Structure 1
Amino acid sequence: MGALTFSINVTLDGCVDHQEGIADDETHAYFTALLDEAGAMLWGRTTYELMESAWPAVARGDVEAPTAIRDWAVTLEDKPKYVVSATRSDFPWNNSHRIEGDLRTAVQDLKDRTPEGVLLGSGRLAAGLDRLDLIDEYKFLVQPRLTGHGPTLYGGLLDSTRSLELVSAEPMSNGAIAVHYRRAD
């Protein structure tokens, strides 16, 4: 069984707005390495649609991009992508699949059949999966920014406090810190 790892950019004040992170070569190399290690990607519909609108064109070379960004896009293009959605059933992006049925059962099944692990990249979905005790690890890229706005990490959607154990913390040259936690229980 593979681990379900929630990974996202988060500012010092908890903002997870995708436009608030540093989007440089170092950041993209970090997320490409995470994606390389994982066997699959898991998103909610909103995040999937955001990613679908940008990354396939970069992977195809239709959009000019630096090497690190293109590497991320190409890695993502071939990675199995799973989507939780109650409103959409058609996911035409290469290697995309809809999660169907009971969420707990379907995600546990995905973990069971993905020994390399599943990388989760949607904040609202993460809150729901955390409430179901399905998230095993957290890899946050803490951005050296204060935004004063949201959306925020979990946005009040957890039903209780989670205790985490620090695995590692690595500073990056851009001022971000890559932190890796696992559930402490």
Structure 2
Amino acid sequence: MGLLTFCLNVTLDGCVDHQAGIADDETHAFFTRLMDEHGAMLWGRVTYEMMESYWPAVARGDLDAPPMIRQWALKLEVKPKYVASSTRADFPWTNSRHISSDLRTGVQALKDATPEGVLLGSGELAAELDRMDLIDEYQFLVHPRIAGRGPTLHQSGLPSARRLKLVSATPLANGVIVTHYRRDG
């Protein structure tokens, strides 16, 4: 069974808006390596639609992009992508699959079938899966920014606090700190 790893960008004040952080070659290289280490991606419908609206065009060469961005797009194109959605069933982007069964059952089956692990990149879906105790690891890229606005993690709350064990904390040259935690108990 593979681990489910939740990874997301977050500012110092907890904002998880994808536009609030630093998007440079260094952060893209980190996410590309992380994606390479995992067997599949998992998103909610909203994140899938945001990704689907941009990355396939970059992979096809329809949009100009720096080499690091294009590399991410090409790797993302072939990576298995799973989408949890109760409102949409058709996901035409290459290698996209719908988790159509019960969310807990579907995600557990995905973890069981993916020994390399699953990389989760949707905040709202993560909150739901966290309530189900399905997330095994957390990797946050903490950006040296204070957004002063925007969505935060677990806005809808959790039934209890999560105890985590620090695996590593690695500073990047751009000031971002990559934190890696594992569930503790």
TM-score, length basis structure 2 = 0.98
Q: Secondary structure at the match of 1:19?
A: coil
Q: Secondary structure at the match of 1:20?
A: coil
State whether structure 2 residue 18 is matched by structure 1 residue 18.
Answer: yes
In structure 2, what is the Cα distance between the partners aligned to 1:7 and 1:96?
A: 19
Q: How does 1:124-139 map to 2 (within 5 A)?
A: 124-139=124-139
Q: Which runs of 5+ in 2 are unaligned?
A: none
Q: How does 1:28-107 map to 2 (within 5 A)?
A: 28-107=28-107
**Deviations 1:32-86, CA, capped at 9 Å, x for gaps:** 0000000000000000000000000111111111111111111111000000111
In structure 1, what is the Cα distance between the partners aligned to 2:62 and 2:138?
A: 33
In structure 1, what is the Cα distance between the partners aligned to 2:17 and 2:108?
A: 28
* Equivalences, count: 185
In structure 1, what is the Cα distance between the partners aligned to 2:17 and 2:174?
A: 18
**Deviations 1:80-120, CA, capped at 9 Å, x for gaps:** 00001111111000000000111111100000000000000
Q: Secondary structure at the match of 1:150?
A: coil
Amino acid at match of 1:54: Y
Amino acid at match of 1:108: Q
Deviation at 1:149, TM superposition (A): 0.9
- CA root-mean-square deviation: 0.7
In structure 1, what is the Cα distance between the partners aligned to 2:3 and 2:150?
A: 28
Identity of aligned residues (%): 71
Amino acid at match of 1:78: V
Equivalent residue, structure 2, for 1:142? 142
In structure 2, what is the Cα distance between the partners aligned to 1:130 and 1:75?
A: 27
Q: Check the 8 A contact 2:89/2:100 in 1, yes or no.
A: no
**Deviations 1:125-160, CA, capped at 9 Å, x for gaps:** 000000100000001110100011120011133221
Deviation at 1:164, TM superposition (A): 0.4
In structure 1, what is the Cα distance between the partners aligned to 2:136 and 2:39?
A: 15
Q: How does 1:109-128 map to 2 (within 5 A)?
A: 109-128=109-128
Equivalent residue, structure 1, for 2:184? 184
**Poorly superposed stretches of 4+, deviation over 6 Å:** none
TM-score, length basis structure 1 = 0.98
State whether structure 2 residue 175 is matched by structure 1 residue 163.
Answer: no
